[in-house]
């Protein structure tokens, strides 16, 4: 198929029309006078008074392929472009009428001689249609045939624009998508910004954590990535302007009470004004206990979380980062004591994934904790500094169980709470 631009003004070029061929993959007549876009196949040239030797008719006995394209609910999808490719050469076959009608049905002709065998079918929706393309579907051809029903998966479309700190547009920004519920990352076509900083990306419907990361081609500045968490993808979603900010160096060294370096301490930064968590790739301490990350200028809450199986407790620190960056110096993490036990329901069945929160009984202030979820066996072990706590147990929504608070738990040494039964 081809795109045809036709000017039928008889005053131009001594009454002749202008015909330009380009962009194989669709058959579209774009009339310069009427600006009417028609999706047709080459054999309808005669409808416009054009003789057959302009292109030539499909050879006698050409194979005709029929079928219907539907969505997941069985509804027909019109306006789709169909392509058939030879896997041996990688070249597309010459087709006529290779588009779907409003009810999703199609009937296209292969306008060249082909040998029987397996070919690859592509079904391509327009960029603004809420469906994913069907690509590389194997079809066995040995003459005219029905391809039956072809089902396209539904899609949602994220749209928006990425700008810098001074609202300059940022091209070539990478978009990464992680399922908010499962934590599984997925790749989608068109997951980057174009020259004007805009993006339009088809994704599977659902909730996504969407991360925006500038590349060296975006700007000469070092920009802090940004992540939009728990973003619902349904239909068309306009995210507006996503503003990335210039990064400032934040460094420091983490030691234990004995002055030894603590490796693999995880650093998290949260904006004190907006509550937004800052994306800080490579934010674990090295073997010398040193961390170095990029954060924007501003006020932040920094959480330092020791590695799993450590007896150290996390620490929260509020900081103000100037334009020139900040060295936090040496940070000493305190030793903790373990609060452990097993979470069960009323039938003594273990409840995995339960989240534990520790609030100081005297003040109601929640302390930072690491590895504070029950494991697959319902077992938990959380390091805290000695104090008296109200301990909250929050099961996942899927369990159907209610939260539980055990007040006034005195923790002076390792403490085993035994079986904790949720209501």
Q: pTM for the complete prediction?
A: 0.74
Question: H or E element: which one contains 136?
Answer: strand 134-141
HSE of 263, CA atoms in CB hemisphere, 13 A: 3
Closest CA to 109 of 86, 134, 143, 76: 143
The verdict on residue 396 lying in a domain is: yes
pLDDT grade, residue 269 (50/70/90)?
very high
Measured CA distances, 47 to 20, 40, 43, 50, 189 (Å)? 18, 11, 9, 7, 38
The verdict on residue 131 lying in a domain is: yes
Domain closes at, from 126, 151, 176: 151
Query: Which CATH number covers residue 325?
Result: 2.60.40.1120
**Is residue 95 located within the same domain as residue 147?**
yes
**Is residue 319 located within the same domain as residue 343?**
no
User: Given this model, what pLDDT does residue 168 score?
Assistant: 97
Total structural domains within the chain: 5
Which domain does 343 fall in, by range? Answer: 337-421
Domain closes at, from 298, 332, 366: 332
The predicted model gives 38-58 an average pLDDT of 41
Is 335's pLDDT higher than 80? yes
pLDDT digits (tens, 9 = 90+) for 68-121: 999 999 999 999 999 999 999 999 999 999 999 999 999 999 999 999 999 999
pLDDT digits (tens, 9 = 90+) for 351-388: 999 999 999 999 999 998 988 899 999 999 999 999 99
| Residue 302 CB neighbour total at 10 angstroms | 24
Least-confidence region, from 28-32, 78-82, 84-88, 189-193: 28-32
User: Given this model, what pLDDT does residue 397 score?
Assistant: 86
Give dist(CA 9, CA 32) in Å, integer.
9
Domain closes at, from 303, 332, 361: 332
Top-confidence residue, 99 or 8: 99
**In angstroms, how far is CA 209 from the centroid of its own chain?**
6
Question: H or E element: which one contains 37?
Answer: strand 37-39
* In 306-354, beta strands by DSSP E: 315-321, 326-332, 337-344
């Amino acid at each position: 198929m081809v795109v045809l631009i036709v000017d039928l003004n008889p005053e131009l070029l001594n009454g002749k029309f202008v015909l330009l061929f380009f962009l194989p993959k669709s058959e579209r007549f774009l009339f310069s006078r009427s600006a009417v876009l028609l999706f047709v196949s080459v054999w309808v040239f005669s409808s416009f008074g054009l003789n057959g030797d302009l292109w030539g008719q499909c050879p006698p006995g050409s194979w005709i392929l029929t079928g219907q394209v539907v969505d997941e609910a069985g509804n027909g999808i019109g306006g789709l472009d169909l392509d058939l490719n030879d896997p041996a050469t990688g070249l597309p076959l010459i087709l006529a009428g290779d588009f779907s009608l409003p009810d999703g049905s199609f009937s296209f002709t292969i306008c060249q001689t082909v040998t029987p065998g397996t070919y690859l079918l592509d079904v391509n929706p327009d960029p603004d249609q809420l469906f994913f393309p069907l690509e590389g579907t194997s079809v066995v051809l040995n003459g005219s045939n029905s391809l039956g029903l072809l089902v396209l998966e539904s899609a949602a479309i994220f749209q928006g624009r990425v700008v810098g700190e001074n609202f300059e547009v940022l091209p070539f920004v990478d978009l990464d998508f992680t399922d908010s519920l499962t934590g599984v990352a997925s790749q989608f076509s068109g997951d980057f910004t174009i020259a004007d900083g805009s993006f339009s990306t088809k994704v599977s419907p659902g909730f996504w954590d969407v991360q925006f990361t500038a590349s060296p081609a975006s700007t000469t500045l070092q920009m802090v990535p940004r992540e939009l968490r728990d973003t619902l993808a349904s239909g068309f979603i306009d995210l507006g302007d996503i503003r990335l900010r210039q990064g400032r160096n934040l460094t420091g060294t983490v030691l234990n009470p004995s002055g030894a370096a603590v490796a693999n301490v995880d650093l998290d930064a949260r904006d004190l004004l907006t509550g937004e968590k800052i994306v800080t790739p490579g934010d674990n301490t090295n073997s010398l206990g040193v961390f170095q990350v990029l954060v924007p200028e501003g006020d932040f809450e920094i959480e330092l979380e020791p590695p799993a199986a450590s007896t150290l407790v996390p620490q929260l620190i509020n900081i103000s980062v100037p334009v020139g960056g900040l060295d936090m110096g040496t940070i000493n993490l305190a030793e903790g004591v373990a609060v452990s036990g097993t979470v069960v329901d009323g039938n003594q069945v273990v409840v995995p994934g339960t989240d534990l929160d520790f609030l100081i009984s005297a003040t109601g202030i929640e302390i930072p904790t690491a590895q504070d979820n029950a494991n697959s066996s319902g077992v938990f072990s959380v390091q805290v500094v000695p104090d008296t706590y109200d301990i909250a147990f929050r099961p996942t929504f899927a369990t159907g169980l209610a939260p539980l608070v055990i007040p006034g738990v005195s923790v002076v040494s390792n403490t085993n709470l035994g079986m904790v039964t949720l209501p």
